[in-house]
Chain A
Amino acid sequence: MNPRSWTSKADRRAERLARAAAALGTRLAGKRVDTDAIGDLLEAVLEPGDRVCLEGNNQKQADFLARALVALDPQKVHDLHMVQSVLALPEHLDVFENGIASRLDFSFSGPQGARLARLVSGGRLQIGAIHTYLELFARYFIDLTPQVALVAAHAADAEGNLYTGPNTEDTPVIVEATAFSGGIVIAQVNELVDGRTTTLPRIDIPADWVSFVVKAPKPNFIEPLFTRDPAQISEIQVLMAMMAIKGIYAEYGVQRLNHGIGFDTAAIELLLPTYAESLGLKGRIGKHWALNPHPALIPAIEAGWVESVHSFGSELGMEDYIRARSDVFFTGPDGSLRSNRAFCQAAGHYACDMFIGSTLQIDLDGNSSTATLGRIAGFGGAPNMGADARGRRHSSPAWLKAGREARAGRTGAAGTPRGQKLVVQMVETFREHMQPAFVDRLDAWTLQEQAGMDLPPIMIYGDDVTHILTEEGIANLLLCRSDAEREQAIRGVAGYTAVGLARDRRAVENLRDRGVIRRPQDLGIDPRQATRNLLAARSMRDLVRASGGLYQPPRRFRNW
């Protein structure tokens, strides 16, 4: 019997590199691969059954490498196991349809959710698990380490150093896991610099972690996901934002937080320099953020509310503004943003005292879900933001107050003093087309049955939710002491939905007397004061003006 090799990963990497060198010949110079040789490179390095990370982020996409992967011969390359955070492009599923890949572990599939569900029910692919971002990144270092990573960067130099630009996103975590476990890293770039006459603005990924670099024929695709036009914010959203600021931000003194992506939280951002300022809250709330560079935050930044923002990714059009506000954003010596999804997810989980965001459905236990029938959309980052950090040990006033409310009167382990993260679900009782946000049973349960999942895809578990905020009021679930009380607290803010109409009116009034439910009037808010005039910006143009012309929104958001 031969003694076992302890260097099989390194040996395999050497074999892959040798195969590539042989296949490419003069089309490979150092680490640079000719654009039209990409198919030959992929066929040379990939082996059937490989775990492959095709960088699909929330925003930045390795789209050229995705198209190249789809075009391979499934006779040669097949049964790949895709391990990537986001399925955003059609090509991310084409690889399953044409037999190149067969197994998938991922986090979020937003735009491809319906097609993914069809492919699963047709037996074209097997899902290992649906993760949160941080959870999938963690598994890159345990049992889902990629053998080949296909990533996107803005530019590379002659040695193969990479500049990712503002949208660093997932690249560092993917490359680290792959490069340090005998894997191959292939980067598509928008630009090549020679390192002498032209140089990289900064190095985000060092060259010896990168195996090959190829110039893409077109710059990689980036989606402006976090731009919300203030013109579309409704009076009801203004009302709810006023309630959030007065009833939660001020009440707990929330200084460190993460906001969701929707119009509800954009309204809060736009009320900081106006309504919150009038309440004397400047300096008392909203100093530190784990947040993408939301254009809606510009007026608050300009008014001096915001001390720091660390970002998961960037946002198109915000580049020059970020560069000019380097006190606030994390920027390199070159001046441009350095985002990092893994670090920002960790920051949002451990170093923020509050997550506030919207959802599609909430049940009587406070479980919430964005799953809808016929779609497998996944989780993204919300469950990491919207969950109590059980491993947290440092304290802050907001965290301690929430913990005290949750533990008052309890004994034993449940009464041991500790803090708790504020997790706020902010929803209008009816969404558009009169879809109720409150339901007796989440669609997630039916989806579980349809897709044969181990668990229903619940985005935020009810026992992590601390407050539910609707136009009717705020339900503070920390103060509820039984399942029945919790149910009535939820019904009591569920408005005219069937769930709301079925409330026990006496129980709800009792909860209101105890401050478990607080109406706008209880907070000293007259709903008639909730007008769009309170918004610090009421249009995209206002945002541009507030930025002093530094913010340059993508064309589709320009209507002037």
Chain B
Amino acid sequence: MSDVPAGLETLQFLYPGDRPAGAFAPVLVGVVGSGNLEVMLEAATDRDDCAVRVETSARGFGPIWQAVMDDFHARHPLGGLRVSINDMGATPAVVSLRLDQAVAAIGPIAPDAGGRP
């Protein structure tokens, strides 16, 4: 049996990495609370793509997550990166903000390319 609580939905996305994120200490931003989320970024030097795993309490929003993550990847085409998200019903605006805050916290590798949806 999985230890994922009933009602959670798990989504996974994989993007090719154009720019290596390099080595960095894991970054955690946000909190798991109603309408909010926690984003963790980890260096994955064993791979050159960007692997995203989302666990969300709001089921049925796969296409919106896809669009949000596509735009995130367009802004920050990072490789060698593992993105883990624990979501409690955050809006796409909050998700995008947390992702950008997390990338900013890595350090100076990722200039902001702008251009959401």
Residues of A within 8 A of B (CB): 234-236, 239, 428-430, 432-434, 471-472, 495-496, 500-501, 503, 519, 521, 526-528, 530
Identity of the chain B residue whose Cβ is nearest the Cβ of A431 in the assembled complex: B91
CB of A496 within 8 A of CB of B117, answer yes
CB within 8 Å for A236 and B94 given contacts A434-B89, A496-B67, A528-B100: yes
Contact A430 B92 (CB under 8 A): yes
- Closest Cβ of chain A to B14, distance in Å, is 20
Contact of B93 among A430, A433, A521 (CB under 8 A): A430
For the complex, what is the distance from the CA of A433 to the CA of B64, rounded to whole Å? Answer: 14
Contact: B91 with A428, CB < 8 Å?
yes
Partner of A501, one of B67, B93, B94: B67
Contact of B101 among A428, A521, A528 (CB under 8 A): A528
- Contact (A236, B117) CB under 8 Å given A496-B64, A496-B68, A501-B67: no
B97 touches which of A496, A503, A527 (Cβ 8 Å): A527
Alpha-carbon distance A493/B100, docked complex (angstroms): 19
Q: Find out whether the CB atom of B91 lies under 8 angstroms from the CB atom of A519.
A: no
Contact B117 A503 (CB under 8 A): yes
- Let me know if B91 and A430 touch, CB within 8 A: yes
**B contact residues around A471 at 8 Å (CB):** 93
Q: Which of A239, A428, A430, A495 contacts B117 (CB 8 A)?
A: A495
On whether the beta carbons of A429 and B93 are closer than 8 Å, the reply is: yes
| B104 lies within 8 A of A528 (CB) | yes
Interface of B: prevailing SS = helix
What count of chain B residues pass the 8 Å CB interface test?
Answer: 20
Provide the residues of chain A in CB contact with B101, threshold 8 Å.
528
Docked complex Cα distance between A12 and B114 (Å): 73
Q: A-facing mask of B76-117, CB < 8 A → 1, else 0?
A: 000000000000010111101100110010000000101011
Does B11 reach chain A (CB closer than 8 Å)? no
Top-8 shortest CB links A-B: A471-B93, A496-B92, A430-B91, A236-B93, A496-B64, A521-B114, A496-B67, A528-B101
> Chain A contacts of B104 at CB under 8 A?
528
Task: Give the Cβ gap from B97 to chain A, nearest Cβ, in Å.
Answer: 6
Q: How far is the CB of A532 from chain B (nearest CB, A)?
A: 12
Measured CB to CB, the nearest residue on chain B to A432 is: B35
Q: For A521, what are the chain B residues with a Cβ–Cβ distance below 8 Å?
A: 114
Instruction: Report Cα–Cα, A28/B104, bound state, in Å.
Output: 76
